[in-house]
Structure 1
Amino acid sequence: MSKERLLTSTIVAGLAAFGAVTFVPTAVLAQDGQDEADQDATEIEEVVVVGSRIRRDTYNSPSPIQVITRDEATLAGLASTTEILQGTAITGGSAQINNLFGGFVVDGGPGVNTVSLRGLGPTRTLVLLNGRRVAPAGSRGSVGSADLNVLPSALIERVEVLRDGASSIYGSDAVAGVINIVTRNNLEGLIIEGQYNATTDAAGEGDQSRISIAGGLNGDRWHVLGSAEYYNREELTLGARDWARCPTQGFTDGTDYIDPMTGKSKCFSLDNGGVTINTLGTATVAGQGALGGSATFNRWRPNSAVTTGLTGFEGVGGGNSGYGTSVRDTFDPRVLNNSLFSPVEVSTLYLAGGYDLGALGDAEIYAESLFNRRESSQVGFRQLTLDYAQGSPLVPANIAALAPMSGNQGLNPGRNVQARAFIGFGNYDSTQEVDFFKNLVGIRGDFFLQNWEYDAYVSYTTSESTYTSEQFLTDRLIKSLDVVAAPGGTPSYLVRNGLTCRANVGNPAEMCITAPALNNATIGGDLPADFVNYVFRPVTGITKYNELVFSGGLSGPLFTLPAGEVQAYIGAEYREAEIDDTPGLDSQNGNTYNFSTAAITRGSDSVVEVFGEVEVPLLANMPFAQELTLTASGRYTDYESYGDDTTYKVGLVYTPVDFLTFRATYGTSYRAPALFEQFLGATAGFISSTNDICNDYTNSPNLNIVANCGSEGLPAGFTATSSVQVLQAGGAAAGLSAETSTNFTTGLILQPELPTGWGDFSFAVDYYEIEVSNGVDQVGTSFILSQCYGSATAEFAADNGYCALVSRNSATRALTVTNGYVNIASDLLTGVDYNLRYSVDVGPGSMLFNASATNYIRRESILFPTDPVYNSVGSLNDPEWSATASVSYSWDAWRVRYGVEWIDAMSDEELYAEQNGGVSLAANGIDASVDEYFLHGVSAQWSSDDLTVTAGVRNLFNERPPTATGYWVGGVGNSPLYSGYDFVGRSVFINLSKSF
């Protein structure tokens, strides 16, 4: 078998739709028309590629491996390493966390970008840089995965993707696969590169730019290379894209709420349920309705024309009005200032080098240093609820004459709430600054055993993030609303309308600014600047994450069999990591009004591991056995946190004839709990009051719920008015242990010998099955509440079991639930990958066609063994099929490319019906389906000896994200929040690279 054919047959399974070329450093597969004779004459060096630690002269791996080159990523118009790794070609259509999620709570904090293979989550995908781990980075307490922003782009040579479990080779986290970013190891001269991606939408926004300089020097015994680069992604706001400006209910049966102002379906806020703004809350009283007629209301909107009932206000819901929430003001134009794609600036410095000692086995000392700074930000929208106390001089007479709303709650501790203003406050900012340092030094050379080599290194990585968000401070709001007549001598700047804060009396140093009076301007969000500056303050936290690694190993031949040498690798590694997230004091103390709070997250873990790998050539160059090679690896792990474990993996490559190769692997993997899953400080968030299990409890068929809710003094027909507070916390104290998994992959590669002039054809198909057990997850608030309130009354009164995780405020009746990390979940995923490559000489040049497709067959995720099992494949954000394809043509100095990405249609209809006894969403006017989605791109490249110019168009036909019923999808506009869609729109790009 020729070296070229062996090399191609073992790698083709991962060819990306970019037209990616797979290669070893000194041998490139023919894309430029190089004939086979020239290629056979090319020397092929021994290299180590992802998925193994054994040196080979080919990529003959039993596992599917994908290789993407730098040139192909440039032709596709990808502006950063992040875009390369999160593209459909690598992720197979699974959803990713990117800058689209700036306004959502994600592990790693706002602005983080992570990668998830097989849709199993970023904590189950291991990211390497030059074969060594990339430590987590980000902000807030849930930092646990590599942030793709830290990776250098200027010196990347290729990206290798292993689509197989590999914990026995790489340790924890390599459950779904491994991504290895390989940088250039030798560079002479200087390269300056710049790229700009500009959107073509009339509103602009969302452009990307990158500029870099890279260079290297070489001596007789040394080499050094480095790069400096800057990447900028401009903000893209919701208002900049017309399809995102007006999220509607989107019911298919014509039951959307029609806005009387426009005669069209009403625009709602991002949650598609609408927040109440420009609204007054009072006790239930009679009044005139906004839609006409009289009824009783407890929600009102200013209307100076109203002279009956509550003068100056029209009723918009509550009481016995029969009005829904849609009649209220539920959309504020300032929402359109929110970040759709949050802006980011990334600066990266990378330096690497080596020096030949001429001793210790002709050893080389090598070193790498990586510095990265990310500056990201997001714009959001806030509602402000102000509680005015009974008897407050800030309340006008007509409202003060009403009965109070409720007692001793909100911003008036110890006093009744007379009225509540629901105010559309406006926009607020969040920012993150993350500094990432990675330093490594190692030594490698020849061992004293013949043909054996050693490699050992130590690395230290530190990440430090400063994160800030603007917040209303509860204590200042309370002081600001507690006002009295200003005594003589009070500084004028502390007096408004003759009133001052009670806190200022006798203590002007308090500097409290009085809240505005309750009037139409206040309800409409026209708030005094001095008041806003007093109560609305930046809250800053700091996150630190450190990782230390000592690693070393030996590789070489053990002995020789008739079919070849038995190769082996043995190694050991020590890793320790620590996290320290210190939120701002106001966040720690629960002083951020109507916003999540967080406690300190602090902890550490360490691991000692020994591991080995062997490759055994069983048969070679025999009839019906051109190759039969066995690989096996094993690892012993001892974690400080959860103890010891072992993993293994076996693989087989069988080539009966030179055009057909079979391969298979089976192995076990594990994932040690991330530090945040062990040590996360109690982080508070809120969910809707409808989740309170005691709502209307007297009608519950569960008598335990009736008894337990009643024992808390809740009245018959109780309806919760306070959101349920959810505390998330780490599970170390509960004995959290590692996830375990099994991974089976099998496939074949077909490479028939075509007639002369017909070109080269390769096809690969791989089936995979991954099963995760003992998965780290959270039980869920609903389950905790059902188990607590559904327990026997004596058990409920004892406040143990699940009830130890539940508390209810005796005054406000608000629930708090602690939802920590435990070992409960299990996942099963099966699917098939297809890859095809065809190259042929046509006219003066050569044509290359690549296509890859992923078919997810089953995805099952359950929390408990007794849970019903459903297959979620095909539901929203979980496509059954995805594919990428490209065709390129090269001649002389030119190369042109056309590419397409495809995401299958998706629907929640079938899954919902299965889970709900056949109930149809469509029959209820809900469109829970999206159409298939295509993205097209075209580009051209011209190259000379020292200059390369690439230009093209991404999203050629300006394809917009598909839409469905906004009430159901709850995404952006009426589109699901899914990273596989292009939310930016068509963009043109140009890349210039100049060598000196």
Structure 2
Amino acid sequence: MPGPGHQHARFGGEEIHMAHDSLKHFFRVSSAAIALATVVHAAPAVAQQGDAAPAGDAASDAADRDIIVTGSRLGRTGYDAPTPVNVVGAERMNNLAISNVADALNQIPSFRAMSTPQMNSFRISGNIGARTLDLRGLGATRTLTLVDGRRFVASADNGTVDVNSIPSILVQRAEVVTGGASAAYGADAVAGVVNLILDSKLNGIKADMNSGISQRGDARTFYAGLAGGTDFAGGRGHVIAGIEYSREWGMGACEVRSWCAKYTNYVPNPGYNTTTKTSTNGLPATLVLDHVRFLYNENGILSGATKPNGTGGTTTLGQQVLNVGATSLPNALRNKQFDSNGNLVDYQIGSLLSGLFQQKEFDSTQPYLVGLSPTTLMVPTRHVSSMVHANYDLTDTIQLSGEFMYAHVVGGPAVSTPPLDGPATIDINNPYISAATRATILAADPAITKLLVNHSAVTSVGPSNVATTTIDTYRAAIGLKGEIGTGWNWDIYYTYGRVKSRIDDVNNRLKEWNNAIDAVRVTGANVGTSGLAIGSIVCRTTLTAPANGCIPINLFGPGGVSQAAAARYMVPEWQTRTYQQHVVALNLRGSPFSTWAGEVKVAIGGEYRRDTAVGYTDANTLAGNFISAQTTALPFTKTTVAEGYFEAGVPLLKDSALGKSLDVDGAIRFSHYEPFGDATTWKVGLVYTPVSELTFRVTRSRDVRAPTAQESSPNSTTIQLPLPDPFVGGNTNQFVVTGGNPNLHLERANTFTAGIVFRPSFIRGLNLSVDYYDIKVDGAIDSLTGPAITTACKNQNLLCNLIQFNPNGSVNTIFSNFQNLSQLHAEGLELVADYRFPAFGGDIDLQLNANYVIDLKTIGATGLVTQLDNWTGNNGSVTNIQGVPAYKIDGIMTYSIGDWAFTWHHRYVPKGILDPTKIAPGDAGYDINNPNSVNINYVSARYYLDFAAKVKIADTRMGGAFEVYGNINNVFDKGQPAQLRLIGNALHFDSIGRAFKIGIRATF
């Protein structure tokens, strides 16, 4: 059956089904190659840096000299750049049957796939199904994404670019600088830069179409792209154009994969005493268990009750725990649920009941068990992206260019949680409670006035917050470039970008729902002049406002929420955004003079940029009518930047006794950000080649990041809450300010890289680089809770500037909005290698990318260190997984012979930590009585093998060539590691399992 969103398909469905039949035949023919893969997969491999030809290939070397590598405004090749540069080309995508350049980049170990269709659920700060790029695990907001060296308009409040908006069929290669590059490109290049280079010299026509499906019949995909280029005006002009359509049908909820359907989750040990910090049952404080269900169901489970305590307050019985608690329920009321008539019946509690969790396998006699939320494992997406680019030689030395890009991207629907009342407070006289039940309860304790009921309206109203995002991107550019004399060139350009996005979220609950569950029966005593019928059931609020339209809800038994009530209280919400960007830039490059070692190269230029964002939302959200609003308005925000830069490359040695070459590269940029202040960024780099086979490189840079629209928005909210006040004791009413902060400053970072490049003459075709990186970010933008701020001020004399006090010394206001509070640190080693050699009558290409993380951490304003390295588990929110493995290895081996090519793609993630805050048996300092103790605290390693094949078929009649290709992803059908909780960790592990794709390419 089609996946979610199938009913919205306009085309592509037939191609999917035809391709499904073709897959069986194609991969039956390839079975011998798969067997070969199982033999060679353990062999060591080094990988090619992108798709460069082997060293020593004269034609390739000549072509490389024409490349201006990202991270510098001066012309260099990737291995010769002072800053590490990894080039990922179209050939990698073709060999692996990858249609989206972001998917190819996210395979590289230096990236963290933070935002992909497998990672995205409903995130207001981004877009559903978006593909953004995150280098070094420092966050996508600290990775600058460029197209042909120019900035691209933001797609979300957090300033990130959705790569779905860029037609991958026109991307020739992606250049990745894995180090700071703010001196070359300005703010946000703290972790690095990804520069997508378009094939602006395309001549002829190329087309690509493919279809894919998982072994289990879901995760269907379809892609079609067409691009072409030709000269005009007698060769003085050249135009290219391209368009692509891509659709991913996604995957369903957790139950569609066995590794997720076993419902692994954390459960607090019910035998652990948190007061005495001792275990009474021989188990640690936290348990990682399978078959964990929430203590909710459609019938409604009695989880507690309240009664007056005689002093004006209430005493809670049960406290959401049926069998234990400071004040337990009477025995007659324990382990009970309601039936559809409001009668109490037995409920079979699972083992290790603790709070809202129980270990309980599915029971057909009690079908309304609530496990995980129905969040989709992979959200559906579809997009159309297109571009046209033209250039024309106005004179022999001046060229005019222009381009226009349009993309329409739809993500979702993404499904969030069902409505959970945990617990709902129900009056003992609620008319939906049977007389027999009321009598039983009062017989157990006559003082009980209210019941606490854990209820899930899954079958009645379905999941809440089913969201879809729509993004329309428009981008236009016009530019001039030319030459001045010999060896000097210049360019000037203007770009305009505009993104209009919308989030539609259906089935969000209004606060009025809470009035609806407080039902009463109309009696003669309260009917008054309202005209209400005696004996009818209404909301309590209707007694005093008969025309309020409130529809009472029965929380007892399945189907108790009527369609009318669901329609009234589960309503849609929406938000819109408009992002605009204007950029004007001028660059001049050339060689003013030469030294004894060669030409001195310089680049100088300036840029002006204006970014704005504004957004609106629905009336219910603005009025605060939702129990938990998922959308927000965004007041108008504007950032303007005026900056100028200078860069120089000076050769100091050439073929001397001290070495073959020595080059020094330096750059400085001054920027004025309104309203965030001034910044001077710089870099100094050195490349030393003592002998032709060996090169050393080192760079030091100062980088910055500007606050995003989300962070700098004046959209702050002030609410008054009773919170602990450590200055006067007890709780006091305090104003807490949350949200954006227009008074933020720039984040500042110091980056150091050092590496070695090895190209031995005795192994012709081998290129290998190893680089060390160390990135420290100060003033990282973060927010803290009110209690954390007051505690830090009282105990550590920190953050007191975020508090306003009353005259008596008590807390008046806490500024809990975004502040420049934290520090980040990323340190590690990166290996890039490629090797090509003849073998078995053909050629073998080996490519290797690896990243070893020495340290990745955040240091909060209170000194709290969160270690993110060697962490591959999920310790909490599904949308807040941040850790990275200690290392990742990505290797490719391609064997080409004649018109055939076979590719084996190897991915390895080592054993990691499940939760860095926990200690398990075997760990240093483990103690069963430690509140941080846990029974399991590791995540198993995973090795994945993908196999792809392609064959070229010449078509002499049309003068072109065809290429048929296909692949098997996850050949061994490895699921996610068994220890992962909730819906796993798609940052590093495959969620789909074995999947197939078949396609055809054509060139004319």
Q: TM-score, normalised by structure 1?
A: 0.79
2:729 aligned partner, one-letter code: N
Q: Deviations over 1:406-430 (max 9, x none)?
A: xxxxxxxxxx966656233332353
CA offsets per residue over residues 247-271 of structure 1, 9 Å max, x none?
A: 13478999999xxxxxx976335xx
Q: How big is the shift at 1:665?
A: 0.8
**Which residue, 57, 81, 86 being the options, matches 1:61?**
81
The alignment status of 1:268 with 2:295, answered yes or no, reads no
How many angstroms does 1:336 deviate by?
Answer: 6.9
CA deviation profile, 1:224-260 (whole Å, cap 9, x unmatched): 2111211111121212111111313478999999xxx
| Corresponding residue number in structure 1 for 2:301 | 279
State the partner residue of 1:941.
950
1:380–1:639 distance in 2 versus 1, CA, 3 Å:
same
Q: Paired residue for 2:830?
A: 833
The 3-state SS of whatever aligns with 1:85 is helix
Classify the secondary structure of the residue corresponding to 1:228.
strand
| Pairing partner for 2:92 from 60, 63, 72 | 72
Asked if 1 retains the 8 angstrom alpha-carbon contact of 2:83 and 2:699, the reply is yes
Separation (CA, whole Å) in 2 of partners of 1:479 and 1:129: 53
Residue 481 (structure 2) aligns with: 445
Aligned partners of 2:808 and 2:54: how far apart in 1?
66
Are 2:694 and 1:660 equivalent residues in the alignment? yes
Whole-angstrom distance in 1 between the partners of 2:826 and 2:211: 39
**Which residue in the other structure is 1:147 paired with?**
162
Q: Secondary structure at the match of 1:858?
A: strand
Instruction: Please tell me whether the aligned partners of residues 46 and 58 of structure 1 are also in contact (alpha carbons under 8 angstroms).
Output: no
Contact 1:88/1:901, CA 8 A, preserved across alignment: no
Q: Give CA-to-partner distance per residue, 1:145-173, whole Å, 9 cap, x none.
A: 11222221111111111111000000000
1:929 maps onto 2:938 in alignment: yes
Counterpart among 992, 995, 998 of residue 984 in structure 1: 992
Equivalent of 2:251 in 236, 242, 253: 236
> 1:354 is matched with which residue: 375, 379, 391?
391
| Corresponding residue of 2:844 | 847
Residue identity over aligned pairs, in percent, reads 22
Counterpart secondary structure, 1:873: coil
Does residue 918 (structure 1) correspond to residue 925 (structure 2)? The answer is yes
CA RMSD, 1 decimal? 4.4
Question: Closer, same or farther in 2 for the Cα pair 1:883/1:58, shift >3 Å?
Answer: closer
Q: Deviations over 1:356-406 (max 9, x none)?
A: 2127x433233232333334221122234355457655554456677899x
Give 1:440 deviation, angstroms: 2.8
Letter in 1 for 2:379: S
Question: Take 1:338 and 1:495, find their aligned partners in 2: how far apart are those partners?
Answer: 43
Cα offset for 1:747?
0.9
- Paired with 1:906 and 1:567, the residues of 2 have a C-alpha distance of 46
Q: Which of these residues, 448, 455, 458, is aligned with residue 422 of structure 1?
A: 455
The equivalent position to 1:205 in structure 2, one of 218, 223, 231, is: 218
SS in 2 for 1:101: coil
Which range is displaced more, 69-78 or 120-129? Answer: 69-78
Q: Post-superposition shift, 1:826?
A: 1.2
Residue range with higher mean Cα deviation, 538-547 or 166-175: 538-547
Find the counterpart in structure 1 of residue 227 from structure 2: 214
Whole-angstrom distance in 1 between the partners of 2:786 and 2:299: 28
How far residue 298 of structure 1 moved from its aligned partner, in angstroms, is 7.6
Deviations along 1:109-159, one digit per CA (max 9) or x if unpaired, are 433332111111111100011111122213xxx432112222211111111
Instruction: Give TM-score scaled by structure 2 length.
Output: 0.79
Q: Is the 8 A contact 2:694 2:757 kept in 1?
A: yes
Q: Say if 2:519 and 2:537, in contact at 8 Å, map to a contact too.
A: no
Partner of 1:954: 969
1 CA distance for matches of 2:143 and 2:290? 42
1:879 and 2:885 matched: yes
Alignment pair present for 1:538 and 2:572: yes
Rounded to whole Å, the distance in 2 between the matches of 1:889 and 1:663 is 32
1:301 aligns with 2:336: yes
TM-superposed CA distance for 1:963, in Å, is 2.7
1:857 aligns with 2:894: no
Distance in 2 of aligned mates of 1:390 and 1:770: 60
Which region of structure 1 is more displaced relative to structure 2, 392-401 or 985-994?
392-401
2:567 aligned partner, one-letter code? N
Contact 2:119 2:986 in 1 (8 A): no
Asked if 2 retains the 8 angstrom alpha-carbon contact of 1:395 and 1:517, the reply is no
CA-CA distance at 1:38 after TM superposition: 6.0
Task: Judge conservation of contact 1:788–1:801 (CA < 8 Å) in 2.
Answer: no
Q: Structure 1 residues 577 and 921 mapped into 2: Cα distance closer, same or farther (>3 Å)? A: farther
Runs of 5+ consecutive residues of structure 2 not aligned to the other structure: 1-43, 273-280, 282-287, 308-316, 362-367, 873-882, 955-960
Partner of 2:502: 466
**Alignment match, 1:563:** 597
Q: Could you tell me how far 1:529 is from its partner in structure 2? A: 1.0
Q: CA, structure 1 residues 535+53, in 2 after alignment: closer, same or farther (shift >3 Å)?
A: same
1:200 Cα deviation after fit: 0.9
Q: Compared with structure 1, are the counterparts of its residues 148 and 500 closer, same or farther at alpha carbon in structure 2 (3 Å cutoff)?
A: same
Q: Give the SS at the match of 2:410.
A: strand
* Equivalent of 1:119 in 129, 137, 149: 137
Query: After alignment, is 379-388 or 573-582 more displaced?
Result: 379-388
Shift of 1:664: 0.8
Pairwise CA distance, 1:187? 2.5
1:102 aligns to 2:124 (yes or no): no
Contact 1:668 1:743 in 2 (8 A): yes
Q: 1:593 to 1:297 in 2, by over 3 A?
A: farther
Counterpart residue type for residue 189 of structure 1 = G
Number of residues of Structure 1 aligned to a counterpart in Structure 2: 884
Helix, strand or coil at the partner of 1:243: helix
C-alpha contact 1:252 1:926 (8 A) present in aligned 2: no
- Cα distance, 1:471 vs structure 2: 0.8
1:834-877 alpha-carbon deviations (Å, 9 max, x no partner): 2232221123211121222211112232123x626575432333
Which residue, 172, 180, 183 being the options, matches 2:187?
A: 172
Q: Is the CA contact 1:90–1:161 (under 8 Å) kept in the aligned structure 2?
A: no
Residue 898 (str. 1) matches residue 904 (str. 2): yes
Offset at residue 106 of structure 1 (A): 6.3
| Unaligned runs of at least 5 residues, structure 1 | 1-14, 258-263, 406-415, 695-703, 713-723, 807-817
Mark the CA change 1:804 to 1:903 in structure 2 (over 3 Å): closer, same or farther. Answer: farther
- Are 1:312 and 2:344 matched, yes or no? yes
Partner of 2:863: 867
CA contact (8 A) 1:79 1:197 kept: no
In the other structure, the counterpart of 1:370 is 406
1:265 and 1:450, CA in 2 relative to 1: closer, same or farther beyond 3 A? closer
Alpha-carbon distance in structure 1 between the residues aligned to 2:615 and 2:777: 29
Question: 1:575-617 CA distances to partner (integer Å, 9 max, x unpaired)?
Answer: 1111112232222222112455745443111110011111111
CA distance in 2, matches of 1:152, 1:474: 43
Match of 1:411 in 2: none
- Give the Cα separation in 2 of the matches to 1:192 and 1:108: 31
Distance 2:735 2:347 in 1: 30
Q: 1:882, 1:740 → 2: CA distance?
A: 28
Contact 1:602 1:681 in 2 (8 A): no
Aligned to 2:753: 745
Q: Is the 8 A contact 2:969 2:996 kept in 1?
A: yes
Q: What per-residue deviation string (whole Å, max 9, x for no partner) do you get for residues 196-218 of structure 1? A: 221113xx221222111212232
Residues 888-942 of structure 1: CA distance to partner in whole angstroms, max 9, x if unpaired?
111211111112011121125776459x993458984421101221111111111
Q: Which among 720, 726, 729 is matched to residue 739 of structure 2?
A: 729
Secondary structure of the residue aligned to 2:330 is strand
| Structure 1 equivalent of residue 651 of structure 2 | 617
1:819 aligns with 2:834: no
Matched, 1:603 2:637: yes
**Cα distance 1:663–1:56, how it changes in 2: closer, same or farther (>3 A)?**
closer
Output the amino acid matched with 1:731.
N
AA partner of residue 850 (structure 2)? A
Secondary structure of the equivalent of 2:644? strand
1:531 partner SS: helix
